[in-house]
Chain A
Amino acid sequence: MIPFNVVFRLLFVFVCASIVTPIKAQISGYQGKHFIFKTDMTCYALAQGYQSELELAVLRKVSTSFSYRYIDQSYALSRIANLANIQSKNVALMLKMYGNGAYTAPRGEYVYLKYARGLASVDFTQSIAGGGTNGLPPFVNYTLSSIKVRDVELGYGMQYIWLSRWCFDMGMGLNWGRMLDERSLINDTVKPVYGPNLWVLSNRLDFENGFGISAHLSVGLLLF
């Protein structure tokens, strides 16, 4: 697999190249409008968090977006049947490639590649062998903070613009989430669940890091 940093650098170079290349008179956007400000509703519904995103149509079939996301999500840790709570803040860079020839970006179906990096803190409980007897507590609470996190997501979506102003963006993709922390406490418990917000598959597939299906459902405004 391509290292995360390489993906980020490639994305960054592509976005910069797109923006610095002469743009005038080449990109029509949506009736001349290129910027969309939106928020992802799934963050509220699935993870008690929030997300803000600014999307810019940079080429006829390409747009890029920058976003900030905060989530506070609880996970059931299947192996020990306890709960973990992950709070994470990250910034993401997303590249969208639109497939429709009749419409130009930012409208239509697209495939996207997203790279996010940020920090997370984790609260979780772990049961103790023989806990609850001999004066031992049944669980121990752990809190780990300032864990570096990285996400890469590849998926398919659809952006629809209604009444020339309102934007609806839906997408679904495969998400790889990584926690860059070597402490063994979270190796088999929290690490495999971090990342996907819809279906976590890494537990079933016995993956070391988070892997699964993520989705977004964003609502926003077409600005200018």
Chain B
Amino acid sequence: MRNKLLTVVVKYIYVGLLLFVVGQAGCRGSLYIEKSTDYTSQAPDIKYLVSINPLFEIIDTRKAIDLQYINSENGEIAFADLLLENAQKKQVKLTVIDANALNKNDTLYFNHLAPFKQQIMQANFLQHISFTQVEMSNNWFVDNWMRPDSKYFKYNPSIPPLYSYLSEIYGTPYFAVQGVFSVVEAKKRRWLWLFLVPPIGLYQFIKPEVKTYFYTIIVNVRSSEIIYREVRSFNNFASKHNLNSMIYDSFSIIKMSR
């Protein structure tokens, strides 16, 4: 009788734990990559990348003031550190231009990099691009199982050529716009969790609905084109732990030359 009771308790705890971990681990996500058709030949050249003011924003719709300034600013510093750490692991020299760390005499950022970033974002959102099929290798297995799903630009999105001089100043033609955007909302149907698995469902009852996006856009200023862009989304907090492996993977794909 005692053994039977113990087995039932173990089973109940097990099912509850499974629901708990699946719910809190944020295991749903997606990845979209678009790049130029000749990206793989350019990838080995991306040894030095300049990231223009990486953005980190948390919007908490449960609060009166949506934008969480303090969390976002702390997160921005941590995010920049993660970018630097993971770039170093993948042998990419990364310079992060942090607008918060600049002083008012730093005219290069305010006169050139800020409008440049604006141009990149505009080109990214306003230019409608069609895509083409590219056979990357003769190996079906490699193409379908070892590479992330990617789309290839028929014509690369273009930016104004007037920023090509930045490659002389920074010593590289590759500039990146990177960011994290996280939205926190009150959970719907949260009473269900409490009803279904009362003790363990308490976490789900308290936990809000979170959607986080991580994006990267890479530009070649010499050819004045966007050559690579990716967006990842996942349903969890933009914590260091959650971002770390994704940023590593992102740099792995950026450096992927085959």
Binding site for B on A (CB under 8 A): 17-18, 21-23, 25-28, 30-32, 42, 45-46, 59-62, 99-104, 107-109, 158, 160-164, 168, 170-172, 198-199, 215, 217
> Is B141 touching A26 in the complex (CB atoms < 8 A)?
no
> Is A109 touching B146 in the complex (CB atoms < 8 A)?
no
> Is A102 touching B18 in the complex (CB atoms < 8 A)?
no
Q: Out of A22, A31, A42, A101, which one reaches B29, CB within 8 Å? A: A101
In the complex, whether B64 has a CB less than 8 A from a CB of chain A is no
> Is A102 touching B255 in the complex (CB atoms < 8 A)?
no
Which A residues touch B28, using CB under 8 A?
99-100, 109
Instruction: Give residues 120-166 of B contacting A (CB, 8 Å).
Output: 139, 141-142, 145-149
> Is A101 touching B145 in the complex (CB atoms < 8 A)?
no
> Is B21 touching A164 in the complex (CB atoms < 8 A)?
no
Q: Known contacts being A27-B146, A199-B11, is A172 close to B18, with CB within 8 Å? A: yes
Q: Known contacts being A26-B147, A172-B18, is A103 close to B142, with CB within 8 Å? A: no
Q: How many residues of B contact A (CB 8 A)?
A: 41
Q: Known contacts being A32-B89, A163-B241, is A109 close to B27, with CB within 8 Å? A: yes
Which B residues touch A32, using CB under 8 A?
89, 248
Which B residues touch A30, using CB under 8 A?
245
Nearest 10 A/B pairs, CB to CB? A102-B29, A101-B31, A109-B27, A28-B252, A102-B232, A28-B249, A102-B234, A26-B146, A101-B30, A100-B29
- Secondary structure of the B contact surface, majority rule: helix
In the complex, whether B102 has a CB less than 8 A from a CB of chain A is no
Q: Known contacts being A158-B21, A198-B14, is A102 close to B145, with CB within 8 Å? A: no
> Is A28 touching B147 in the complex (CB atoms < 8 A)?
no
> Is B241 touching A60 in the complex (CB atoms < 8 A)?
no
Q: Known contacts being A21-B146, A217-B14, is A26 close to B30, with CB within 8 Å? A: no
Which B residues touch A171, using CB under 8 A?
18
In the complex, whether B246 has a CB less than 8 A from a CB of chain A is yes
| Interface CB pairs A-B, < 8 A, 28 | A21-B142, A23-B146, A25-B252, A25-B255, A25-B257, A26-B147, A26-B258, A28-B249, A31-B86, A31-B248, A46-B10, A59-B146, A60-B145, A62-B145, A100-B27, A101-B30, A101-B148, A102-B30, A102-B232, A102-B234, A103-B249, A109-B22, A109-B27, A158-B21, A172-B15, A198-B14, A199-B11, A215-B14
Which chain B residue lies CB-closest to A23?
A: B146
Which B residues touch A215, using CB under 8 A?
14, 18
In the complex, whether B244 has a CB less than 8 A from a CB of chain A is yes
> Is A100 touching B234 in the complex (CB atoms < 8 A)?
yes
> Is B148 touching A60 in the complex (CB atoms < 8 A)?
yes
Which B residues touch A104, using CB under 8 A?
245, 249
> Is A18 touching B234 in the complex (CB atoms < 8 A)?
no
Q: How far is the CA of A32 from the CA of B257 in the complex (A)?
A: 17
> Is A60 touching B147 in the complex (CB atoms < 8 A)?
yes
Q: How far is the CA of A160 from the CA of B241 in the complex (A)?
A: 11
Contact with A along B20-34 (1 / 0, CB 8 A): 011001011111000
Contact with A along B46-83 (1 / 0, CB 8 A): 00000000000000000000000000000000000000
In the complex, whether B192 has a CB less than 8 A from a CB of chain A is no
Which A residues touch B29, using CB under 8 A?
100-103, 108
> Is B147 touching A170 in the complex (CB atoms < 8 A)?
no
What's the nearest-Cβ distance from chain A to residue B228, in Å? 16
Instruction: Give residues 210-258 of B contacting A (CB, 8 Å).
Output: 214, 232-234, 241, 244-246, 248-249, 252-253, 255-258
What's the nearest-Cβ distance from chain B to residue A113, in Å? 16
Which chain B residue lies CB-closest to A160?
A: B25
Most B-side CB within 10 Å, residue of A26, A42, A46, A162: A26
Which A residues touch B114, using CB under 8 A?
none
> Is B248 touching A42 in the complex (CB atoms < 8 A)?
no
In the complex, whether B17 has a CB less than 8 A from a CB of chain A is yes
Which chain A residue lies CB-closest to B233?
A: A102
> Is A103 touching B21 in the complex (CB atoms < 8 A)?
no
> Is A170 touching B18 in the complex (CB atoms < 8 A)?
yes
Q: How far is the CA of A103 from the CA of B252 in the complex (A)?
A: 13
Q: How far is the CA of A164 from the CA of B18 in the complex (A)?
A: 21
Which B residues touch A23, using CB under 8 A?
146
Which A residues touch B245, using CB under 8 A?
28, 30-31, 103-104, 107, 161
Q: How far is the CA of A108 from the CA of B25 in the complex (A)?
A: 8
Which chain A residue lies CB-closest to B144?
A: A59
In the complex, whether B7 has a CB less than 8 A from a CB of chain A is yes
What's the nearest-Cβ distance from chain A to residue B254, in Å? 11
Q: How far is the CA of A20 from the CA of B247 in the complex (A)?
A: 27
